[in-house]
Amino acid sequence: MKTSGKAKSKSKGKAASRRRDPSESGAGQSRPGQSGPPPRRRGSERVFEGLGVSPGIAIGPIHLSESTEVHAVEYQVPAGRAQGEVERFQAAAEKALRQLKKLRRKASEFHGASAEELGYLLEAHLQMLQSTRLQEGVRRRIVDGRINAESAVMREIEGIAAVFGAMDDAYLASRGKEVREVGYRILRNLTEANFTSFRDLEAGTIIVGEDITPADTALMDPKVIGGFASALGGAEGHTAIMARSLGLPAVLGVPGLLAGVEPGATAIVDGDQGLVIVHPTKRRLAHYQKVRDRLARASAALGKLRNLPAATRDGRVIGLQANLELPSELEQAAVSGAEGIGLLRTEFMFMNRDDLPGEEEQARLLGRIVKGMEGRPVTLRTLDVGGEKLASALGDHLGNPVNPALGLRAIRLSLKVPELLETQFAAMLRAGALGHVRILLPMISSVEEVRDARAILNRVAARLVRQGVAIADPLPPLGVMIEIPGAALAADSLAREADFFAIGTNDLIMYTLAIDRGEEQVAHLYNPLHPAVLRLIQFAIDAALRNDKPVSVCGEMAGDPRYSCLFVGLGVRELSMGPKALPRVKDRIRKMESTAATQLALSAIIQRDPGEIGKLLDAFNLEV
Ligand code: PEP
Ligand code: MG
C-alpha cells in the first residue's frame, strides 16, 4: 500500500505511509497508485522505495534469488497425455507473459538509463516468448518426441541459443543468454520451482528477487536470512504475511530493484519505511545499526508482558492467540505468550512438493503442534489453496482458472475433491486425541458448504472409530471463516450451522473492495477502514454474539494495535495474529478501557469517510 491517506490503516501500510529517507527530511513521499520514484543516489549508495510489508531493519550482503538455474528431468509421455503436456506448457508460457508484462509496466514507471536498459531487455524477452519458433518448436517436441513439457522447453531453448551463439555478430551471439533466461522463466513456472539455494548463506543475508513466493519464504530460516526485498508483490499477499510471521523485515513492490543490485553488495532493508538501501554510506550504516539496536531493546521490553493477561484497565479479558504458517513458529508463539493457536494455515504441508501428504504424515505434523501447545486450543484450518496460494502438489486439481481468486479455492476445492477433505479431517481428528482442537473451514459462502463438510467430518469420524483409531472425543467444534462479503451478510444463518466464527479480514477486504491483496498496482486502495468493510465485520460479530457463538478475528488487522480498540469495542473477545505482533497488541489492550472502546466503535461505525474513522482511532490510541 502506498498512499499516505489510507496507509496508516495497517501495520505495514503505516510503514509505507511514512516512507522517508531517514537522513533526508521530507524526501520520498509516495504517490497514489504508482510504484514509487527511481532510486536516489549519493556516491555509490542507492535508495529504492517500495512497500514496507514487514517491520524491522536487516543489514547484510545481497543474495540474488533469480540467479538459480532450473533443471528438469526428462521423461516420455504416452500419446494420450501429449495434449495435456502442451497445455501445461501453454499455461506456463502465458504466466511468463503476464510476469514480463507486469515487470515492463513497473520498468516504465521508473526513469534513467538503467530503466531504459531494463525496458529493452524485457521487450526482447517478450518478443522471444511470443515467437512462433519457440511456441511451435516446443509443441512439436512434445507431440512428435513424446517428451514432457519441461524437457521440450529445455531442448528447444538450447537449440535456439545454439543458433544465436554460432552467429558472427557479437550482439546476436549474446542473445543466446536472453533466450535461456526466457526458457528458465517458463521452466520455473512449469515446475513451480522455488529458490532452494537459501542454504549455506552468511548469517544476515538479504534475499533479493523479482517475485518471492510464499513457498520461497517458507524456505527462509530467520537465523540465516536477515530480510528480503522483491520487485513485485503486494502488502497483503501471503509472502508479506509470512514475512511478518517469521519476523523478517521485508520490502516488496520495489521498482527497478533488480537492475540496481549485485550479489554480495551490502544492503539495508528497512521494513518500516519501505526502503532498500544498497551500498549504504558509513553514516547511513551507523544510523541503521543504532535503529536496529533500539528496536531490539523495545522488543525485549515488550517481552516482559508475556505472562501478564491481555486485560483492559476495566478488567475485560481478551484472548490473544497466534496464527501459525509453519511448525517452526511454534516456539515463537510460546515466547509471545499466545494462549492458543487461533489459525493454523495447513498449506505448509502442501508446499514445495509435487505429491500430496497422506493421512499419516498430516496426522504426525498436526499432532506435534497440538501436543506442543500442551492443552491450549489449536484451530486447524483445512486447506486454503487456489487464488494466490498455489500448491504445485495440487496442479491437476486446480486447473488454470482465468480468475483464481474467484475460482476453485479453499473449501470449494476440498468439497470438489472429497478425498482431500477426508484425509485432512482424519488427520485433524487424530491430532485432536492429543489435545484441544477446533476445525476451521476457509472461504465459506453458504450454509450448504458447512453442512456438506460436517457430513464428511461425521463420516470420517465414524470410520476411524470403527477402525479403533483414537480421535478427539467429543468431536472438535467446526467453525467457519467469515471472509467473503456474502458470508458476512448471511452470518445469521451461518451462525446456526457453524460452531464458531473466525473473521478473515484479509480476504474480506479484498472481496469487498475488489482489490487483489497481492497486487501492488492497487495496493493503495486496500483499505481496512472502508465503511463497507467495518459494517460487514460488525454484522458478523453481532450475528455470532446473538447466536451465542464464539467469534475471533484472525486477519492481519487483528495484529495491528491501531485496530485493537475497534475490535474490543465491537465485542470481539478473541484475536489471533502473527506471534511477533502479539506483545504490541497486548500492550495496547492493557492500556485501554473497554467502555471507552465501545463508545469509540459506536462512533466509528457510523462514519462515512475512512479518513474520519482513522482519525477517531488515532485520537483514541494517542490517549491510551
Ligand atoms: C484472511 O483472509 O483474513 C485470513 C486469515 O486467511 P488467509 O490470509 O490465509 O487467506
Ligand atoms: Mg483468507
Give the E-state strand segments of 310-467 in sequence order: 319-324, 341-345, 378-381, 437-441
Q: How far is the CA of 307 from the centre of ligand 2 (A)?
A: 30
3-state secondary structure of 94: helix
Taking the CA of residue 554 as reference, the ligand 1 atom at the shortest distance is: 5
CB of 233 shorter than 6 A to ligand 1 = no
CA of 505 to the centre of ligand 2 (A): 7
Confidence of residue 408 (pLDDT cuts 50, 70, 90): confident
pLDDT at 214: 76
Alpha-carbon span 232 to 122, nearest angstrom? 15
DSSP one-letter string for 541-562: HHHHHHTT--EEE-SGGGG-GG
pLDDT for the residue numbered 174: 63
Q: In what order do the strands lie in the sheet with 225-230?
A: 40-42, 45-49, 275-278, 266-270, 57-64, 205-209, 225-230, 250-252, 51-54
Distance 505 CA to ligand 1 centre (A): 7
> Looking at ligand 1, which atom is closest to the CA of residue 387?
10
pLDDT at 3: 29
Residue nearest to atom 8 of ligand 1 (CA): 506
Q: What is the pLDDT of residue 68?
A: 47
If DSSP states are collapsed to H, E and C, what string results for 288-327?
A: HHHHHHHHHHHHHHHHCCCCCCCECCCCCECEEEEEECCH
Q: Which residues are catalytic?
A: 238, 554
236 pocket-lining for ligand 1 (C-beta < 6 Å): no
Find the 197 Cα to ligand 1 centroid distance in Å.
Answer: 28
Tell me what the mean pLDDT of segment 13-23 comes to: 32
Is the distance from the beta carbon of residue 217 to the nearest atom of ligand 1 less than 6 Å? no
Question: Ligand 1: which residue has its CA nearest to atom 4?
Answer: 504
pLDDT, tens digit, for every residue of 582-606? 999 999 999 999 999 999 999 999 9
- Which atom from ligand 1 is nearest to the alpha carbon of 241? 8
C-alpha 200 – ligand 2 centre gap (Å) = 34
Decide: helix, strand or coil at residue 344.
strand
pTM of the model: 0.71
pLDDT value of position 230: 92
For residue 442, count CB atoms less than 10 angstroms from its CB and return exposed for 0-12, middle for 13-18, buried for 19 or more. buried
The ligand whose atoms approach the alpha carbon of 236 most closely is 1
Position 378 scores a pLDDT of: 98
The verdict on the CB of residue 384 being under 6 Å from ligand 1 is yes
Secondary structure class of 618 (helix, strand, coil)? helix
Alpha carbon nearest to ligand 1 atom 3, residue: 504
Report the pLDDT value the prediction gives residue 351, as an integer from 0 to 100: 79
pLDDT at 172: 67
User: What is the rounded average pLDDT for all residues in the chain?
Assistant: 86
Q: State the pLDDT confidence band at 315, using cuts at 50, 70 and 90.
A: very high
